[in-house]
Amino acid sequence: MLQSLLYPLRPTPLLINFSASILVWGALFGDIFVLLILLNNIILPLMLVTAAKYLFLVLEKTAQGHRDPPYLSHTLWRVFEEWRPYQFLMVALVVYTLSRWLWSHDLGNVAHVVVVVALVFMPAFVGLLGLKEGMAQALNPIALALFMHRMGLAYLGILGMLYLGYALVGWFYKSAPGLYTAVLFIGYILILVFHLLGRVIYLRREALDYRPDHSPERLAAAREEALIDVRKKHMDRIFKLRESERALPILLACIDTEEDKLAAHAWYHDQLMRWDRKWLALRHAPFYIRAMRDAGDVRSAERIERVCRDIHPDFKVD
């Protein structure tokens, strides 16, 4: 949990939050920042869209199983590549405008209700947008309720974090730290909530039917599949030379090229033991057994040695 709380304070999210909060604060006090008086109509919306885009990158990368936040890249400034940041900001603007109008008409209690209800559905809305379900689905009450149900008790935890942040923002705004601290803390809470949402989506990806294309586990599976394909090609070559003395040196050379040599020994030994004639398996077995002994797996080494001895009583390992 501590690692999640510190996530928004890591260099890249902290830089994004600091930059966006400075611009928001500067827009509210434009008489202080002459540059922002001239350019805030361009810079501020651009920065807000960029920050919102980064929030969805945080959600996506975390949902894929990555623990590190996204790095800054030139693609982050391509603000017209997708609509999710605009959709999120548009809904946030509607809630903000409505609550502010209610406050201005002495309907503060109603404004609080609007904000509270919006915060209840906000994580589900963001989660559906993050899963690229589309704006219509993200605003569908049934889809929102189903998403909240599938998230389980973790959704209540995210809501608790969100409401605690909302209370602290109000306290910061009214107390000594002032408006800038409140704006900065809003950015912190948003990054934290998007990160926590991504984390829960990753942990409950089966319940949510989420299959990330670029998760570490999928990348690992793809690497493993590619490695198996290479091994099979080597085995085809070795099979053609199975009656030759060259077969064992070629086999050992193939194993030596791999990073995890013990795993390679195990895979090749299993394949060799499936052949009708097992003389190559018996010649390879001592190298496999010694590798297991070096790795401290004496029990498995003894088991393989017994199997080999059952095939050939004179089998032994020096």
Model pLDDT, residue 259: 86
Taking the CB of residue 35, how many other CB atoms lie within 10 A of it?
A: 10
Helix ranges restricted to H, the chain:
2-6, 11-28, 34-63, 84-104, 108-130, 135-138, 141-151, 153-174, 178-203, 216-240, 247-256, 261-272, 279-294, 298-311
Model pLDDT, residue 267: 92
Q: What is the pLDDT of residues 246-266, one digit of tens each?
A: 889 999 999 998 888 899 999
Mean pLDDT, residues 184-188 taken together? 84
Q: What is the mean pLDDT of the chain?
A: 82
**pTM > 0.95: yes or no:** no
Residues in the chain: 318
User: In this model, does residue 176 exceed pLDDT 80?
Assistant: no
Q: Which has the closest alpha carbon to 157: 200, 219, 98, 116? A: 200
User: In this model, does residue 30 exceed pLDDT 70?
Assistant: no
Model pLDDT, residue 29: 57
Which tops the pLDDT comparison, 31 or 267?
A: 267
Q: What is the pLDDT of residues 54-88, one digit of tens each?
A: 898 899 888 888 888 888 877 777 777 788 888 88
Q: What is the pLDDT of residues 32-45, one digit of tens each?
A: 444 444 455 667 77
Contact partners, residue 283, CB within 8 Å, separation at least 6: 248
- Distance of CA 157 to CAs 122, 151, 295, Å? 13, 10, 44
User: In this model, does residue 309 exceed pLDDT 80?
Assistant: yes
Model pLDDT, residue 106: 82
